[in-house]
Amino acid sequence: MEFRIADTFTDSLARLTSDERKAVKTTAFDLQLNPANPGLSFHRLDRARDKNFWSVRAGSDLRLIVHRSNASLLLCYVDHHDTAYNWAERRKLETHPKTGAAQLVEIRETVKEIVVPAYTQNAVQAELVLEPMPAPELPPLFTGRSDDELLGYGVPAEWLADVKQATEDTLLTLSDHLPGEAAEALLELATGGKPRVPPPAADTVSPFDHPDAQRRFRVMSNVEELQRALEFPWEKWAVFLHPEQRQWVERDYAGPARVAGSAGTGKTIVALHRAAYL
C-alpha cells in the first residue's frame, strides 16, 4: 500500500498548536508504519460524498481525514472534529476526465447572491428605506472558451458553468475553490496569457503520477521522509514541486545547464531536487 500526503494536510497541520501538531505527527507515523494497527481509531464518514474518506482520531477532538483504498492511504486534512468533518463532506478525490490528474475537488454547492443594502432616508416619512444596491455588470471572462478547452486546463466538470460566468470581480474568489492548475490557467487567460496545457495522462499511468497531481500529492517512502515533510510545512515547495520546476529537475541534458530567473522563482529548490534526482 502506498502512503501519500497531500499539501492540504501540511497546510492544515501548520495551523494547529505545537502540542496538537505533536499528537497529529505521532498518529501519522503510526499510520505509515502499520495502517492496520488495531489501536488506530478509523471512522467512515457516512455523510461524505466520497465514501473512501475516513477519520482517524489523534486526540480527544483532533481528527485526521484520510482517503483510504486498497492501493493507497492519503493524508488529506487535519483539524478539530467538526471542522475536519465539514472539510471532508465538501470534497472528493477524483481523476480529472480530460487531463487524467488526481484532484481533490471541492463539491459544487449553491452559492446565494449577496445583495449589499443601501440605506436612504425618505424626506417625507423620515424613516429608513432599505433598497438593494445594483451591482455593476461586468462581462464574463470565459464565455468564448469551449468546455473542452477549460477541461484541458484542469477545471473540474462541475465547475464549468461557474467559470464561464466568472467576471473580474468574481474570478479570484472562484479560484479559491478550484485545483491549483485550473486557477493558475484561468488567471493567466484573464490577463491575456496562454496557459501551459500538459498532455493528457495515458490510461496506464496512475492519476497520482500526472505532473499536476505531483505538485499536491507525494508518496512518503519512509518515516524519515514523512518526518521532514511534517516538520517544515512552510517549506512545502521543497516537497511539492510545481510541474514547471519538475521538468527542469528530470530533464536529460547533453552537458552543463544554467537556470535563470528572478528572485523567489524557485531556482534553489530546482537545484536541490536536481542533485537528489541525480
pLDDT per residue over 46-67, tens digit each? 999 999 999 999 988 999 999 9
The 10 Å Cβ neighbour count of residue 238 is 15
Q: How far apart are CA 4 and CA 186, in angstroms?
A: 28
Percent of the chain with pLDDT over 70: 83
For cell 510541474, the residue is 243
User: Which contiguous run of DSSP H or E holds residue 248?
Assistant: helix 243-249
- Residue 53 in 3-state DSSP? strand
Q: What is the pLDDT of residues 255-277, one digit of tens each?
A: 788 776 555 556 777 787 788 77
- Residue 131 in 3-state DSSP? strand
Which sign, positive or negative, has the C-alpha torsion 244, 102, 79, 239? negative
Q: How far apart are CA 169 and CA 112, in angstroms?
A: 16
Q: How far apart are CA 268 and CA 29, in angstroms?
A: 29
User: What per-residue confidence (pLDDT) applies to 114?
Assistant: 44
User: What per-residue confidence (pLDDT) applies to 235?
Assistant: 47
Spell out the domains of the chain, with CATH numbers in brackets. 2-106+206-233 (3.30.2310.20), 137-200 (no CATH), 241-278 (no CATH)
Buried b (16+ CB within 10 A) or exposed e, 108-136: eeeeeeeeeeeeeeeeeeeeeeeeeeeee
User: What per-residue confidence (pLDDT) applies to 106?
Assistant: 94
Q: Give how far Cα 118 sits from Cα of 115, 122, 132, Å.
A: 9, 13, 6
User: What per-residue confidence (pLDDT) applies to 237?
Assistant: 47
Helices vs strands, H then E, count in the chain:
11, 10
